Amino acid sequence: MPDKKQSHCMSFHTKGADFRAVFVSAAGAINAATAQIQVDNRVLYQFSEMAVCANLLAGLFRDVHDLTLEVTTDRFFRSLIVESTPEGIFRAACQPNDLIDEVQNTQVVDADILTAKLVVTKRYPHIADQIRSTIGSKSNSIPNLVQQYLHESEQISTLMLTGTRLCPDPERGVIADKSFGLLIEALPGVSDNKKFVITDNLERLESLTQYFNDEAEKDIMDLLDDIYPGEQWIQTSETALVYRCRCNREGYLERIVDLARRDIDEVFGDLTELEVKCGYCANVFHYPRAEVESKL
Q: Which residue has the higher pLDDT, 103 or 179?
A: 179
Q: What Rg do the C-alpha atoms of the chain give, in angstroms?
A: 21
| Cα dihedral sign, 68-180-162-164 | negative
pTM (predicted TM-score): 0.88
In a domain, 287, yes or no: yes
Check whether residue 179 and residue 253 sit in a common domain: no
User: How would residue 104 be classed by pLDDT, with cut points 50, 70 and 90?
Assistant: confident
In a domain, 286, yes or no: yes
Check whether residue 260 and residue 184 sit in a common domain: no
Q: What is the CATH number of the domain that holds 278?
A: 3.90.1280.10
Listed residue (160, 147, 117) closest to 135, CA to CA:
117
pLDDT of residue 36: 86
Could you tell me where the beta strands, DSSP code E, fall in the chain? 8-14, 19-25, 66-72, 77-84, 89-96, 117-123, 131-136, 158-169, 173-186, 233-240, 242-243, 273-277, 284-288
Check whether residue 114 and residue 223 sit in a common domain: yes
Check whether residue 223 and residue 256 sit in a common domain: no
In a domain, 2, yes or no: no
User: How would residue 287 be classed by pLDDT, with cut points 50, 70 and 90?
Assistant: very high
Which residue(s) pair with 287 in the sheet?
A: 274
| Residue that terminates a domain, selected from 243, 269, 286 | 243
User: How would residue 216 be classed by pLDDT, with cut points 50, 70 and 90?
Assistant: low
Q: Which residues contact 215 (CB under 8 A, 6 or more apart)?
A: none
Backbone φ, ψ for residue 231 (5° rounding): -90, 145
* Domain carrying residue 277: 249-295
88: left (phi over 0), alpha (psi -120 to 50) or beta: left
173: left (phi over 0), alpha (psi -120 to 50) or beta: left
Check whether residue 258 and residue 153 sit in a common domain: no
Check whether residue 235 and residue 272 sit in a common domain: no
In a domain, 3, yes or no: no
- 146 to 1, 40, 57, 154, 162: CA distances (angstroms): 26, 22, 9, 11, 11
In whole numbers, what is the pLDDT of the chain averaged over residues?
92
Residue 95 has a CB neighbour count (10 Å cut-off) of 17
Give pLDDT tens digits for 79-91.
999 999 999 999 9
In a domain, 1, yes or no: no
Give me the number of domains the chain comprises. Answer: 2
Check whether residue 117 and residue 95 sit in a common domain: yes
Q: What is the CATH number of the domain that holds 185?
A: 3.55.30.10
- How remote is the C-alpha of 213 from its chain's centroid? 23
Check whether residue 129 and residue 258 sit in a common domain: no
User: How would residue 2 be classed by pLDDT, with cut points 50, 70 and 90?
Assistant: low
Check whether residue 184 and residue 286 sit in a common domain: no
pLDDT of residue 282: 78
In a domain, 235, yes or no: yes
User: How would residue 141 be classed by pLDDT, with cut points 50, 70 and 90?
Assistant: very high
Check whether residue 40 and residue 115 sit in a common domain: yes
* Lowest-confidence region among 32-41, 57-66, 131-140: 32-41
Q: Which residue has the higher pLDDT, 153 or 5?
A: 153
In a domain, 151, yes or no: yes
User: How would residue 213 be classed by pLDDT, with cut points 50, 70 and 90?
Assistant: confident
Listed residue (91, 100, 113) closest to 41, CA to CA:
100
pLDDT of residue 4: 56
Check whether residue 227 and residue 82 sit in a common domain: yes
Check whether residue 75 and residue 123 sit in a common domain: yes
Helix, strand, coil shares of the chain as percentages rounded to 5? 35, 30, 30
